[in-house]
Structure formats: C-alpha cells, structure tokens
Amino acid sequence: MDHLEAASAEFDSLWRAMMGKGFNFGSFHAPVWFRFDVVNIDYAKSSWMFEAGQLLLDHVEVNVLNHITGRWSFSQQAGNLVPIHQRPVGHHSLLFPIDLPPGERSTIYVRVESVLGLYFTADIWQNEAFWRHDQQRTLLLGVFLGILVVMILYNLSLHIFTKDRNYLIYSAYVTAVVLYELAATGLGGRYLWDHNLWFRTNAYVLFAAASFLTATLFIRMFLSLRVYGGWLLQLNNVFLIYWVGATFLFPFVFSKLFFDFMQLVALLSPVAGIVTGVYLWYRGNIQAKYYTIAYIFLSVGTIILMLGYSGLVTRGLVTDYSQVVGFVVELVLLSLALADRINRERVAREEAQVVALDLSQKVSKAREEKLMVQEQILEVQRRANEELELRVLERTRELERAMNNLEMANKELSRLSFTDPLTKLYNRRYFEEILFTEIRRAARIQQPLSVAIVDIDHFKLINDAHGHLIGDECLRLVAKTMSQHMGRSGDLIARFGGEEFGLILPATSETNAMVVADRVRAAVEGIHFIHRGQRILLRVSIGVAGCIPGRDQNPEALLSAADKALYQAKRAGRNRAVAANG
C-alpha cells in the first residue's frame, strides 16, 4: 500500500488514535503507517526537519500532504536498508526535510518497517535547533566513548604488566560495549560499516550478544565463581553457553523465534547477574559488592532509556544517553574494583611474608643443634624473601605507573570538558564558571566588569554557499583573530555554540569594552579569506554590557543586557558594536 491508498477514504476507518511521541509495537511487525496533522504557527520559517527516532528501523518512508494546495511532497526514504549517502540528509539519524507553509495545515504520512523491534518516535525540528541539538549529543557521546576507550587502554596496559586475565576480559567487555553503543547510536553505521548492508541491519544484535557474552565471562572471572561452584557456577555456565552460541551462530540462524528467545534471555541475564552479586555480597565477597553497585547504575540507565523509547517519560538528552552514562559509571566502578584487587593482593603477600618470617624463626630455634641444616634453611628463606620483596616492589611500581597514567588521562578529560573541539577556545560551561567568579571578585573590590556577545553575521549563508567545512574554517579564523586582538592576558574568550562567542573583560568599564569590541570587529572585518578565487566576507555584530557588580549581581542579567545590545546591533544593520547603556 502506498501513501495515496493510505490517505484515501477507503482506509480511513483503519486508523487508530494514539497519544505521545513514542510507540512500541514489539518485534517482527508488518509495515505500520503513522500520520500526523501539523500546522506551522511560526510565520518566519517554512523549512523544517522531521526526525524518525530509533535508529534501528529498516525502512522509513515519509510523504507530506498540503491540504491547501492538495499536493504531495516527493517521497523520501531512509533506514538501515538505505545507505547514508542515499538518504534525504546524509546523517546517521533518520532525517527528512519537510516544507510546512506558515499557517497552513499539512499531514505527514510515515510508513515504518523493521525486522527487529518496532520502536518508533517522532520529532519535528527547526533546522538550526536540530543541528545545535545534534552537536550537543555528539559531543556528549564523544566524551562518554572517549572515557570508555581510556578504560580499554588502561586495563590492557594492566594486563600486559600483571598478566592477569581479568583485565583482558574486562577490556574485551568494554570493547563490546563501545561497539554496541556505536551500533545503537548510528555512529558505527555512519563511519564504519555504512557500505555493508549486513552490518547495517545486524550490527546492533551482534554486538549486543557480544557484550552479554563478555559480561558473563567477566562475572565468572571477577567473582571467582569456580571457587564457589554449585548453582552459581551452573547458572553462569548456562548463560555463557547460550551467549557463545548467540554471538557466533546469530549470522547463520537468525529468525523470529531466535530473536524473541534472545530478548527473553537478555532480560533474564541481568536478573541472574544481580542475584549472583547480591548472594556473594551477602557471603562477604568484596568484589561482589563493587559489581552489584556498578550493575545497578547500568540497570537504572537502561530502564530510563526504555521508558523514553516507550513514551512513558519525556525524551531528551537524559533519557537518550542514560544507558551510555550507566555503562560509563559501571565500567569505571569495575575498573576501580580491579585496582583495589591489586592493593588487597599486595597486602595479602605482605601478610604471607610476615607469617613466613615467623615460621622461619621458630624453625631456627627448634633446630639450633643442626647448624648446617639451619643455615641452608635460612639461605633458602632469605632468597625467597628477596624474590618476594622484588615482586612486591615491581607490582607496586606497576600500580604507581598505572595510577599516573589514569591521573594524566583524567586531567586530559577535564581539559577537554572545558574546551570547544572546533575552535580550541573555552566552551560555554567554562565561560559561565569564570563569569560567576569574576562577578564575585569585582563586587568584592568594586571594580567594573564587562561582557560582550559576538555573533558572525549571515553565517548560515556562508554555510549554505560554501559548505560546513568552509564554515568551520571561518569559525576557526574568527576565533583566532579575536583571541589575538583581545588585548590582555586576563581577558577571556569562549565559544557559546554555533556562530556565537562570549568575551569577559575584567576591570574594564563599558566604555573601554566598546573600544575592545570595535577593535575585535575591525580585525574580523579585515580577515582576507579566499576560497576558490572568491573572498568570503566575514563580519560580526557585538553586544556589550558592563557595570560595577553588586554582591547580589546575577550573571544572567549581565548576559541578557549584552544579548539585547547584540539584537540592537543586528537591527541597526549588523557589522557593529552596541553598548547596553549607550
């Protein structure tokens, strides 16, 4: 059935009303049609973006009917069966540009088909709002995946140094989780396996099974289930055998029955894991305590994610990335548990050394008449002690090196959290922290403080005309130029996001801040950027606000004044600086 048949009166009685933005139809459904009535009340914009959520859908087709003209938009298709370069928008999300004339009613018809579970969500975005949102979630995901990669490298290095298989299995588990998240978020399909149809449609299930397999194996090693034996070991054996089969047989025996059973086992595996952890925790296993707490974080994150997909809670960055955060917290806690294990093993070796020394003294006192035998025993004991001390010293140094590596990685992650990856300037989070500090300092010593908001004029036109890569280069040039003309080392420049920048000018009145703003504006105007024989003109509008803050000065009020001044600069013709109190 095509969209014309779906919209005909013949099928009108088959439609069912549903509430919310998320719909769950389970697995292996026939194609499902959705329709949405939309009225654009924003008379300034007619170009919008329709996003079909849940990136694992095989095929999504979108058609739009304008009720005023009676015309259909051309059919657009995306999904796992459609390579990214053939989609309406070359992005890992399922995006469809739609035209919604202001004040007119349109109906969006969406046909959804999926072999895996049919979980469908719908969002309509203004173009600029979507790309800002996409930049935020991509940055967050990059930070989370970066942390996981650091954990992989850190524990691989520990495996190389200690030869302990726990670290190798842990690294395999983290690797499987990273691949699973790449498949679940669509980034893997976009950058790694978009050219491979099989991987586009099956990578999610394959890496999900691999993550369960490595998690089951890690639990077996980490909690020493072979030592306990009994029903704990047998339960782990059952799930281990199943996930080995699911991971390696999945490419050959995939079917509806197989997938349904796999979903059931995927629900039972965490339950079995938590039961195992709680039971061993009750029996005094310290490792089980760390494991159970870590697994609770992952379980809560997964529950929040599924509630968002099911429409029971409002979706957002928190719901969409709750499982990723849960994975990060879980894996960091497990890594700390492994490090604690090294420390406890070192203490056990020291206690064993003390016991050995005490036994040697007792033996020597009991056999004083046998001096030759005693000397031989003492010599053997001395060598054993020296070897043990050398091993303890070596392991201690290895632990110190590993902790230093982790500290360096944490410092680098902290620096990256305050840095805009494109312009290498500080990001808005750091800007707001410094502004709060500077306001308190200026209020305490009664010095003036000024801020400025800088916006690149007509930046969207530059992106549309020359592409986002040239737009990014323009952002870097403007950022570098403004940094070179700020004037003082105490001044701060940060990127707010998109084409906006923020300036903090301590000990600077609004009048002097206007001098800095005009200097920065003139410097940007003087940028001579040539692309394909054509100069790209770069101009900025600047809003400036300054005052001597009081003790209860609100940073948002100062930024709001600068933002209003920026708006006045744009209304006055752009390429100028305007003071809030000018």
Q: What is the pLDDT of residues 328-346, one digit of tens each?
A: 787 787 777 777 777 777 7
Return the pLDDT at 120.
76
415 pLDDT more than 60:
no
pLDDT tens digits for range 58-107: 888 999 988 888 888 888 888 888 888 888 888 888 889 988 888 888 88
HSE on the CB side for 456, CA within 13 Å?
28
CB atoms within 10 A of CB 502: 23
pLDDT of residue 306: 62
Q: By the 8 A CB rule, do 545 and 579 touch?
A: yes
Which pLDDT score is estimated for 416? 56
* 432 has a pLDDT exceeding 60: yes
Those residues whose C-beta lies under 8 Å from the C-beta of residue 111, and which sit 6 or more positions away, are 3, 6, 31, 32, 33, 59, 60, 61
pTM: 0.55
Q: Are 89 and 136 in contact (CB under 8 A)?
A: no
In this predicted model, which residue has the larger pLDDT, 317 or 537?
Answer: 537
Return the HEC string of 240-265. Answer: HHHHHHHHHHHHHHCCHHHHHHHHHH
pLDDT higher at 427 or 199: 427
- Is residue 56 within 8 Å of 114, Cβ to Cβ? yes
62's tokens: 């979108």
Average pLDDT over residues 492-507: 93
Most confident option among 202-216, 239-253, 413-427, 514-528: 514-528
The string of DSSP codes covering 421-448 is TTT-SEEHHHHHHHHHHHHHHHHHHT--
Tell me the mean pLDDT in the region 481-488: 88
- Side chain identity at residue 358, one-letter code: D
pLDDT at 324 > cutoff 80 = no
**Burial (CB count <10 Å: 0-12, 13-18, 19+), residue 164:** middle
CB 377 within 8 A of CB 364: yes
Predicted confidence band at 430 (pLDDT cuts at 50, 70, 90)?
very high
Q: What is the mean pLDDT of the chain?
A: 83
Q: Give residue 389's pLDDT.
A: 81
Q: How confident is the model at residue 505 (pLDDT cuts 50, 70, 90)?
A: very high
Least trusted range by pLDDT, from 7-16, 271-280, 423-432, 481-490: 7-16
CA distance 256 to 264: 12
- Neighbour-count burial for 62-101, b at 16+ CB within 10 Å, e otherwise: bbbbbeeeeeebeebbbbbbbebeebbbebbbbbbebebe
| Residue 320 to residue 53: CA distance in whole angstroms | 10
Report the run of H or E that residue 25 belongs to, with start and end: strand 22-27
Provide the 10 A C-beta neighbour count for residue 291: 26
pLDDT tens for residues 215-259? 888 888 888 888 888 888 898 888 888 888 888 876 666 555 666
Q: What is the mean pLDDT of residues 325-330?
A: 78
**Confidence at 439, pLDDT banded by 50, 70, 90:** very high
Q: Which two tokens stand for residue 285?
A: 């296993």
pLDDT of residue 418: 83
Helix, strand and coil percent figures for the chain, each rounded to 5: 60, 15, 20
Position 28 pLDDT exceeds 60:
no
Q: Collapse the DSSP code of 26 into the 3-class scheme (helix H, G, I; strand E, B; otherwise coil) and give the result.
A: strand
**Interval 360-388: pLDDT, tens:** 778 777 777 778 877 777 887 888 788 88
H/E stretch holding 464 reads: helix 459-466
Span 194-216, average pLDDT: 84
pLDDT tens string 116-140: 667 777 888 888 888 888 888 788 8
d(CA 241, CA 249) in angstroms, rounded, equals 12
Measured CA angle at 87 (ends 81, 88), to 5 deg = 150
